[in-house]
Amino acid sequence: MDIQSLIQKYPQVDQLRKMQPIFWRNPDYGKPDPELKLTKADIFDAVDRWNRFAPYLEKVFPETISSHGIIESPLIKTNQMKQQWNQEHTTKIDGQLYLKADNELPVSGSIKSRGGIYEVLKFAEHIAMTKGNLVYMDDYSILATPKYKKLFANYGVAVASTGNLALSVGIMAATFGFKTTVYMSHDAKQWKKDKLRNYGVNVKEYNINFSAVVTKARNESAKDPSVHFIDDEGSVDLFLGYAVSAVRLQNQFKKQNIKVDKDHPVIVYLPAGVGGSPGGTTFGLKNIIGPNIHAVFCEPTHVPSVTLGMMTKLYNHISVYDIGLDGLTAADGLAVGRSSRIAGKILRTLLFGSVTFRDNMIYKYLTQLKDTEDITVEPSAAAGYTAIESILKHVPDFNSANATHIVWATGGDMMPESERKIDYDKGKEIIKESK
């Protein structure tokens, strides 16, 4: 690949190559896209499936009883965090600052609870209907009976992941009784591997990067027709599972009197790895809530895979390694060198832009979030805060008293206390050094 000609055509590639934090504004944002095949109807099909499974989820995961089997996270107004932000930035946030707390999502404590669990539910429904006698009007809690567990034991579910997708797929598939295999790259945290093994999941570890692990997992799974492979680089079902969040968020806006119109823009800051979960979320937001909600992706300077793919319009045909980056980051869920096959193409007119950040920033913000709001997130989940300053500076329309800023906290609740303390202390040290 001729990097120099790429740089000539897209000068910001040079900044990416030099690992400089950047703001990239998508020149195609808001244009019509005749190639977009997914629709609002696909999102509502996914909503209906989630609703059918609610009695089952309530039965097997007692933590969902209070929400009647619906897996959702709160939208939290974070006034103290906003105050902290405004104290140390010359560009102040005039609007409101919220946290979409997917770190609190039941079952696996991350945004992946939506997509990963959803695809397992869809596969289980397919098996139960084609090989069992489940019908749409049944109470799906019957899927927790020994009869169905015995049926599911004849089938396998496999996934490759740097961490959170493995947790959601692994826990859900093992709960159904599927033979479950998770392929993990060198970026995966040990505690996530341990948790999966406690559920009886077969964890296969490889000292290679995520993209190479996905290829290995995909090839191995293809050898066994009874195994369903969940493909983080190209699954439409994962994508639609994430999109459902927009339907729930729309309701939270109504309950909290958050206006969304031309004069009241909403800016959503989403950490991005392979691009599937923030991509599906963005697709949902634009289709359900409309043109005045704007998604911004946040990526590490060492692994800006979605930004690189979209900026060059090469999407999944270029990786960060092609421009000389090492792909190493403390944000394990974002350590993905090549973007999803579907995310970039679907997002080309839906994504407002993206911001890249240095790793030390996420530790600083996770510590401040704990200190101001008593909310714990994992490092990658604090990535949204790194993008706010760039957006306020580059897009004056978004820095009004009528604007709403939502940082999407993608994970953290399942972290062991010892890990939380290490991350928090690291943030404290960074804050101390910056003074």
Token pair 């195994």 is found at 227
Q: What is the mean pLDDT of each run of 10 residues along the chain (435 residues)?
A: 92 98 98 91 98 98 95 97 96 97 94 95 98 98 98 97 90 97 86 93 90 91 97 92 97 98 98 94 98 98 97 96 94 89 92 98 98 97 97 96 97 93 97 91
Q: Are residues 174 and 294 in the same domain?
A: no
**Quick check: is 374 in a domain?**
yes
Q: Are residues 299 and 419 in the same domain?
A: yes
State the Cα–Cα distance between residues 354 and 45, nearest whole angstrom. Answer: 30
- For residue 425, what pLDDT is reported? 98
Run of H or E including 271: strand 266-271
204 backbone φψ class: left, alpha, beta (φ>0; ψ -120 to 50)? beta
Tens digits of residue pLDDT in 162-174: 778 999 999 999 9
- For residue 118, what pLDDT is reported? 97
Q: Are residues 182 and 196 in the same domain?
A: yes
- From 218, 238, 258, the end of a domain falls on 238
| CA atoms in the 13 A half-sphere facing the CB of 120 | 32
**Quick check: is 49 in a domain?**
no
**Quick check: is 123 in a domain?**
yes
Tokens matching residue 207: 């000292």
State the Cα–Cα distance between residues 230 and 160, nearest whole angstrom. Answer: 8
- For residue 41, what pLDDT is reported? 97
Domain count, the chain: 2
% of the chain exceeding 90 in pLDDT: 89
State the Cα–Cα distance between residues 49 and 316, nearest whole angstrom. Answer: 30
- From 210, 238, 266, the end of a domain falls on 238
State the Cα–Cα distance between residues 81 and 407, nearest whole angstrom. Answer: 11
- For residue 209, what pLDDT is reported? 81
Domain residue limits at 123: 111-238
Q: Are residues 219 and 167 in the same domain?
A: yes
- For residue 1, what pLDDT is reported? 73
What's the CATH number where 120 sits? 3.40.50.1100
DSSP 182-218: EEE-TTS-HHHHHHHHHTT-EEEE-SS-HHHHHHHHH
**Quick check: is 92 in a domain?**
yes
- For residue 48, what pLDDT is reported? 98
Residue 141 identity (one-letter amino acid): S
Tens digits of residue pLDDT in 220-259: 999 999 999 999 888 999 999 999 999 999 999 999 999 9
Q: Are residues 288 and 326 in the same domain?
A: yes
- For residue 188, what pLDDT is reported? 80
- From 238, 272, 291, the end of a domain falls on 238
State the Cα–Cα distance between residues 284 and 288, nearest whole angstrom. Answer: 6
State the Cα–Cα distance between residues 254 and 89, nearest whole angstrom. Answer: 31
- For residue 333, what pLDDT is reported? 82
- For residue 413, what pLDDT is reported? 92
